[in-house]
Every structure is written in C-alpha cells, then in structure tokens.
Amino acid sequence: MKLTVQVRTATGKKVKNLRKEGQLPAIVYGKSLENPVLLTCLKNDFIRVYREAGFSTPIELTGAIEQLVLLQDMQLDPVSDEVLTIDFLAVNRNEKVSASVPVVLVGESKVEKLNEGKVQLVKDIVEVEAFPQDLPHNIEIDVATIESINDVIFVKDLKVSSKVKVLDDGDQPVVTVVELADEEEASDEAATPEATPAAA
C-alpha cells in the first residue's frame, strides 16, 4: 500500500493554507531516521489509504521519501472530526514492532439466535508484536463458537498467525455474553426516575 508524499516547509499558521489546498501536514519519525521529516500528502489519498491500512498495516511512503511506515497518530478537529495532522512511525522490515490491532466480531452466536443473551465485545483493541509485513489488519472472532451465556473468549483464545505475538494478558476477557433478562433489568432501572423527597 503506497502513499505519495512531498517535503513540507510550511509550519505553524501557514499549515492552514495546505489544508485549504486539499493537503494534510504529516511528520515521520523513528530510530532509523536521524531527524523527523516534515511532509505533506493529498488528503483524499490519505483517507483512501487509511481506510485500507488502519494503524496496523504498513504503508510505503513514496515521492519525497522512500520509507516503510505505520500510522502512529492522527489529530482530529474536535468539532468536525476532520483529519488535521498525521504522525507516521518509520519501521524496518527486519525489525519487530508492536501495534494496536482491532478486534472484529463475525458470525452469529447460538445464544443470540435463541434470544437468550447478547454478545458483547469488551476489549476491541489488542496489542501485538511482529515484523511489519506480518502484522494483522484485524483479529476476527467467530461468535458462532459461543453456545452458552456462560461462555467467555479470552485474549489467550484469539487465533493469530504463528508470526504474531500477542502482548496483552492472556486472561483478559475479549468477548462476554450478557443474559437478556439482566440487560432488560439494567435498562429498566436506568429509565426509572429517582423519587424526590417531599419538601418539609
């Protein structure tokens, strides 16, 4: 996955002009670089790449710099949620890196089919370590394996490649099941207004 970038000289308030021209200010840093490099890229190009790569799929920067990177951070506008700036981490294909990988639920569980319970994703991000090219885009959990309201899927149950090491505690729950009766009671309690003491 490639993203074309250009060297950026604009900083501070001048960066606003870049955004008006449909570009995004970016920076790439890492131990393989002597100094951070200021860059810019087309906003539409970045959005397209981000939708496919996320934070755990390597991106090849081309143009002003030839560098393999991971998306490290994005600054968003607090009102519009528009991307304002991008941080990239320079990585090496021969060195392992850690990354945050999203957990995705697929399929349908028996307890939901029978309306006995509701499957809940209680841990949606897992920290892993691998060579950049071996990092998973996401980790899928097939909830069809859940057959009872007592079933729990832990970090240690996640299926990942032998090339990937999961860094999180294996006993952390990732998926649990809430009994529908319990969920309805909790909703009823939340909806019931508290009694107001009568004035003396």
Give 186's pLDDT tier (boundaries 50, 70, 90). Answer: low
- Taking the C-alpha atoms of residue 109 and residue 41, their distance in angstroms, rounded to an integer, is 43
- Residue range(s) occupied by CATH 2.40.240.10 in the chain: 2-92
Residue 192, pLDDT > 80, answer: no
**Claim: this prediction has a pTM higher than 0.85:** no
- Residue range(s) occupied by CATH 2.170.120.20 in the chain: 98-189
Q: What is the pLDDT of residues 108-161, one digit of tens each?
A: 998 888 888 999 999 999 999 999 999 999 999 999 999 888 899 999 999 999
Q: Decide yes or no: CATH 2.170.120.20 for domain 98-189.
A: yes
- Closest C-alpha among 100, 154, 89, 105 to residue 128: 100
157, 162, 164, 165: CA torsion to nearest 10: 60
Q: What is the pLDDT of residues 7-52, one digit of tens each?
A: 998 888 888 888 889 999 999 999 889 899 999 999 999 999 999 9
- Taking the C-alpha atoms of residue 99 and residue 184, their distance in angstroms, rounded to an integer, is 37
What number of CA atoms fall less than 13 Å from residue 175's CA on the CB side? Answer: 24
DSSP secondary structure letters along 92-122: -TTS-EEEEEEEEEES--HHHHTTSEEEEES
Give 180's pLDDT tier (boundaries 50, 70, 90). Answer: confident
Q: What share of the chain is helix, strand, coil (3-state, %, to 5)?
A: 20, 40, 40
Q: Decide yes or no: CATH 2.40.240.10 for domain 2-92.
A: yes
- pLDDT for 200: 40
